[in-house]
Structure 1
Amino acid sequence: MPGGGVIDLLVVGGGPAGLATAVHAALAGLETVVLEQRPAPVDKACGEGLMPSAVRPLRELGVELRGRPFHGIRYVEADGARCAEARFTAGPGLGVRRTELQAALAARAAELGVRTVRGRAVAEVEQDAAGVRLGGLSARHAVAADGLHSPLRRALGLHRPQRGGPAARYGLRRHYAVPPWSDLVEVHWARHAEAYVTPVADGVVGVAVLSGERAPFDRQLARFPRLAERLPEAAAVSAVRGAGPLRQRAAARVAGRVLLVGDAAGYVDALTGEGVAMAVASAEALVRCVVAGRPEAYEQAWRRVSRDYRLLTESLLWARRRPLLADRIVPAAAALPALFRAGVNLLA
Structure 2
Amino acid sequence: MGRTVQTGQSDDADVIVVGAGPGGSAAAYHCAAAGLSVLLLDKASFPRDKICGDGLTPRAVAELTRMGVPLREQDGWIRNTGLRVVGGGHTIELPWPELSSYPSYGLARSRMSLDHLLVEHARAAGAKVQERTNVTGPLLDERTGRVIGVEARPVDADGRRAGDPVTYRAPLVVAADGVSARLATGMGLEKRMDRPMGVAVRTYFRTPRHADPMMESQLELWDGPPGRSNLMPGYGWIFSLGDGTANVGLGSVASTAAPTKVDYKDLFATWMRNAPAEWEFTPENQIGPVRGAALPMGFNRGPLYGRGLMLVGDAAGMISPFNGEGIAYALQAGRVAADAAVQATARGTAAGRERALASYGARMKDDLGGYYTLGRVFVKLIEHPQVMRACTRYGLPRPLVMRFVHKLLADCYEPHGGDWVDRTIAGLAHLAPAS
Q: Same fold (TM over 0.5)?
A: yes
Deviates more, 1:327-336 or 1:38-47: 327-336
Distance 1:246 1:297 in 2: 23
Alignment of 1:144-155 (within 5 A): 144-155=175-186
1:245 Cα offset (Å): 5.7
Distance 2:300 2:147 in 1: 26
Distance 1:279 1:259 in 2: 12
Structure 2: gaps of 5 or more residues: 1-9, 98-102, 152-166, 221-231, 253-259, 345-355, 413-435
Contact 1:268 1:313 in 2 (8 A): no
Contact 2:137 2:150 in 1 (8 A): yes
Alignment of 1:150-189 (within 5 A): 150-162=181-193, 169-180=198-209, 182-189=212-219
1:295 paired residue number: 357
1:131 Cα offset (Å): 6.4
Contact 1:176 1:205 in 2 (8 A): yes
Contact 1:188 1:195 in 2 (8 A): yes
Question: After superposition, what is the alpha-carbon deviation per residue over 1:307-347, rounded to whole angstroms, capped at 9, x for unaligned?
Answer: 36514532432232011111123234423322322343352
SS of structure 2 residue aligned to 1:340: helix
The residue type equivalent to 2:96 in the other structure is: F
Identity percentage of aligned residues: 25
Distance 1:227 1:271 in 2: 25
Q: CA RMSD in A?
A: 2.6
2:399 paired residue number: 337
Deviates more, 1:336-345 or 1:145-154: 336-345
| Equivalent in 149, 170, 181 of residue 133 of structure 1 | 149
Structure 1: gaps of 5 or more residues: none
| Equivalent in 29, 33, 37 of residue 35 of structure 2 | 29
CA gap 1:267/1:113 in 2 versus in 1, 3 angstroms: closer
SS of structure 1 residue aligned to 2:169: strand
Instruction: Compute the TM-score of the two structures, normalised by the length of structure 2.
Output: 0.72
Question: After superposition, what is the alpha-carbon deviation per residue over 1:136-179, rounded to whole angstroms, capped at 9, x for unaligned?
Answer: 1111201000001211110111123526x86x542101011102
Distance 1:83 1:148 in 2: 34
1:233 paired residue number: 283
Contact 1:28 1:291 in 2 (8 A): yes
SS of structure 1 residue aligned to 2:402: helix
| Equivalent in 53, 58, 66 of residue 64 of structure 2 | 58
Matched, 1:106 2:119: yes
Matched, 1:81 2:89: yes
Question: After superposition, what is the alpha-carbon deviation per residue over 1:18-61, rounded to whole angstroms, capped at 9, x for unaligned?
Answer: 00111111112111111101121232211110001111220221
1:214 paired residue number: 262
Distance 2:370 2:65 in 1: 22
Distance 1:112 1:24 in 2: 8
Deviates more, 1:112-121 or 1:139-148: 112-121
1:225 Cα offset (Å): 6.7
Instruction: Compute the TM-score of the two structures, normalised by the length of structure 1.
Output: 0.89
1:117 paired residue number: 130
CA gap 1:82/1:217 in 2 versus in 1, 3 angstroms: same
Contact 2:90 2:397 in 1 (8 A): no
Distance 2:218 2:35 in 1: 45
The alignment of Structure 1 onto Structure 2 pairs a total of residues equal to 341
Distance 2:388 2:261 in 1: 15
The residue type equivalent to 1:286 in the other structure is: A
Contact 2:175 2:310 in 1 (8 A): yes
1:289 Cα offset (Å): 1.4
Distance 2:319 2:20 in 1: 21
Highest relative contact order (Cα 8 Å, sep 6+), 1 or 2? 1
Matched, 1:11 2:11: no
1:228 Cα offset (Å): 5.2
